[in-house]
Amino acid sequence: MNNKKVIIFSAPSGAGKSTIVTYLMKRYPILGFSVSATSRAPRGAEVNGREYYFFTSEEFRTKIDNDEFIEYEEVYKGSYYGTLKSEIDRLWNNGKIIVFDIDVVGGVNLKNLFGDSALSVFIKPPSLEILRERLTGRGTEDIESVEKRVKKAQYELTFEDKFDKVLINDNLEACLKEAERITEEFIS
Ligand code: ADP
Ligand code: 5GP
C-alpha cells in the first residue's frame, strides 16, 4: 500500500506542467494520473478519458449538482475543470499515488484537503515573456487565448508561497532532474 499519497502539480498554463508530469508518469509506474473532467472542447490529439473526460457545460453542471466533484473551478470564463471523486477512488483502488495537473487555486484547495498526504509543487516559468513564447510556440492557442492565459498567470504567480515546493522551469533537463528528486523523496 502507498498510504494514499497524492502529488499536486500546479502552474500557470504554459509553464510546463504537462511536459513534467508526462515525464514523471513514464518514469514511475506507481504514479497514476488523475484525469480531470472539463467542459472545454478537446484540442489537438486529446482523447476522451486520457487527457480529460470531456463533458458539455450542462453535463458538467449536473455533476456539480450531484456533488460528484472533490473540487472544481471555472478556470477560464465558460470553461469548467474538476476532479471527480470517482477518479480518486479508481486510482487509489489500483494502489497508485495520484498525480494531479490542476490550476493554482485547485492545487491549494487539494493541499488543504489532503494535508501531509500531499506534496504540492508549483511550477514557475522564468518570466511572463517566456511564458507567452511557450504558449505561442505550443501552437494550441489563438492570440486571444494566449493573452488570457498570460494575464491570469500574473495573478497565479502570487500563490507560489502556498505550495510545498517551487520548481523553476527554465532549463528543462535541470527541472526534470529536480522533479525526479522531489518525487522520489516523497514516494520513498
Ligand atoms: P502546461 O502543461 O503547463 O500548460 P506545457 O507542458 O504544455 O505547459 O508546456 C508549454 C510549451 O512549452 C510546450 O510546447 C513545451 O514543449 C514547452 N516547454 C516546456 N518546458 C520548457 C522549457 N524548459 N524550455 C522550453 N520550452 C519548454
Ligand atoms: P488546459 O485547458 O490547458 O488543459 O488547462 C487549463 C488549466 O486547467 C490548467 O491550469 C490545468 O492544470 C487546469 N485543470 C485541469 N484539470 C483541472 C481540475 O480538475 N481542476 C482544476 N481546478 N483545474 C484543472
Q: 142 CA to middle of ligand 1, Å?
A: 16
- pLDDT, tens only, 144-183: 999 999 999 999 999 999 999 999 999 999 999 999 999 9
Whether pLDDT at 68 is above 50: yes
- Report the candidate in 98, 110, 123 with the shortest Cα–Cα distance to residue 72: 110
| Atom number of ligand 2 nearest to Cα 52 | 16
Here the CATH number for the domain that contains residue 48 is 3.40.50.300
In a domain, 140, yes or no: yes
Instruction: Work out the mean pLDDT of the chain and round it to a whole number.
Output: 95
Question: Is residue 99 a contact partner of residue 182, using CB atoms and an 8 Å limit?
Answer: no
Q: pLDDT higher for 54 or 75?
A: 54
- Answer whether 83 contacts ligand 2 (Cβ < 6 A): yes
Residue 1 lies in a domain: no
In which domain, by residue range, is 19 found?
6-187
Helix axes 128-138, 143-156, angle to 10 degrees: 140
Residues 16-39 pLDDT 10s: 999 999 999 999 999 999 999 999
pLDDT of residue 44: 84
Domain count of the chain? Answer: 1
User: What integer pLDDT is reported at residue 1 of this predicted model?
Assistant: 43
Q: Which atom of ligand 2 is nearest to the CA of 18?
A: 12
